[in-house]
Structure 1
């Protein structure tokens, strides 16, 4: 059985990412990332935006994936950054402004290197990852059972944003259905996107976005062990950013 460590939404929290990799036993040797037990780090999207070191996170994860040291699938913030970098007209808000500000301080050569590597990372990434003979599915915001193995515009919207209704809350956040409680899965689904105070295990699904960027923790789910590792955030705690399902 293959061995993976799925890491939740980083959002530019570079120091916490390295703390968690160290906690998991990974070794960084120059540009290489390895594990003595042949484990593979898996990043489920939203590498950037809001946090202090988005460029460093994007740079390292792009490098590790290109060197086959790690795996990755994109999140909605990754999708928006990609569209910005290829020149699409996107609104620079909801966190993207912090990454853009970092990019503006790079030299033209360094900007090109970071931009090219992230564009390559995004364009070569699957919408979601089917691992260990489909025993494990890693997706940013979730997936329905009937979508596994398929690629379409509808699948892309679901894996990037969750089961959105088209409505919004008063603060502008999209209204999402609690898909994890509505479906049964043959695969184990690991996802993030919606910050929760502690990992949320529902049936064969687990949400590991424990809100590092909002002062919570950065969490990893270890497969096939089904164990959790986490490190504390260095960011200010913002209680109202965490979703409650009570």
Structure 2
């Protein structure tokens, strides 16, 4: 049976990603590979806020597109960066400004290469990933049971942004409903998007965004083992950025 390691929101934390690969048993000579041929799956938001977003793009592009030894689904930050690269007018805040700052330091040739690589990665990615043999689905912010198999605008909004209400907290974060409490499906839903201090399991859902970019940890969920592996963050801890559930 295929074995996978689903990796939470990296957000430009390249060093922690390297450490996580080592902790998961991947070996690097010229490329990352696993002696058991495990497949890494990135669940989106690979860039923004962290210190080395462009190096993460390069690595993920190489693993997914060139080597075809990894898989990737986009997150909301990926979608925004893609729209930036399209030339659309997007607000450079909430983390995008850090990636753009890195990008602006490159030569025009290097910029074109980074833009092409990320756009290729994004355009070849499924909205979410179904793993029928493992009875699991990888979706950036999660997915409701009734949305599985669909990819319309309503489903795309949910997968990228979560179960948003349209309201915002005092510090500007969108208010989201706790959709996982209502989930009763047979498949595991592996997601991220909402930073939590430790992986949160509710029914057959697990949130593995343990807020690496906010100073906590970078986590992976291994299937079929249903095991969590994580490494500590090297970023300053910002406890106010995490969601705490009752």
Question: TM-score higher than 0.5 here?
Answer: yes
Distance, in Å, in 1 between the alignment partners of 2:35 and 2:92 is 41
C-alpha contact (below 8 Å) 2:134/2:224 kept by paired residues: no
Which residue of 1 is the match for residue 57 of structure 2? 58
Distance in 2, matches of 1:133 and 1:107, equals 45
Q: Deviations over 1:175-200 (max 9, x none)?
A: 10000001211211100000000000
* Superposition deviation, residue 134 in structure 1: 6.2
What residue in structure 1 maps to residue 48 of structure 2?
A: 49
Deviation at 1:11, TM superposition (A): 0.4
Measured in 2, the distance between the counterparts of 1:229 and 1:14 equals 17
Write the distance in 1 (CA, Å) between the matches of 2:183 and 2:228.
23
Q: Distance in 1 between matches of 2:29 and 2:97?
A: 32
**Equivalent residues in 2 for 1:8-157, closer than 5 Å:** 8-30=8-30, 32-66=31-65, 67-133=67-133, 135-157=135-157
Deviation at 1:114, TM superposition (A): 0.9
Unaligned ranges ≥5, structure 1: none
Q: 1:2·1:132 contact (CA, 8 Å) conserved in 2?
A: no
Matched pairs, number: 245
What is the root-mean-square deviation in Å for CA atoms of aligned residues? Answer: 0.9
Deviations 1:151-188 (A, max 9, x none): 11011100000000111111111110000001211211
CA distance in 2 between partners of 1:113 and 1:38 (Å): 29
Q: For residue 133 of structure 1, give the secondary structure of its aligned residue in structure 2.
A: helix
Show CA shifts across 1:65-117 (max 9, x none). Answer: 00211000000000000000010110000100000000011111111111101
Cα distance in 2 for partners of 1:120, 1:151 equals: 20
Q: Which residue of 2 aligns with 1:233?
A: 233
Mapping of 1:182-221 within 5 angstroms? Answer: 182-221=182-221
CA distance in 2, matches of 1:147, 1:121: 24
Q: How far apart, CA to CA, are the structure 1 residues paired with 2:83 and 2:134?
A: 30
Deviation of the 1:28 alpha carbon: 2.4
TM-score normalized by the length of structure 1: 0.98
The alignment partner of 2:133 has SS state of coil
User: How many Å apart are 1:149 and its aligned residue?
Assistant: 1.2
The question of whether the paired residues in 2 share the 8 Å contact of 1:47 and 1:57 is answered with: yes
Q: CA deviation at 1:29?
A: 3.0
Q: Deviations over 1:22-76 (max 9, x none)?
A: 100112232x331100100000000000000000001110111002110000000
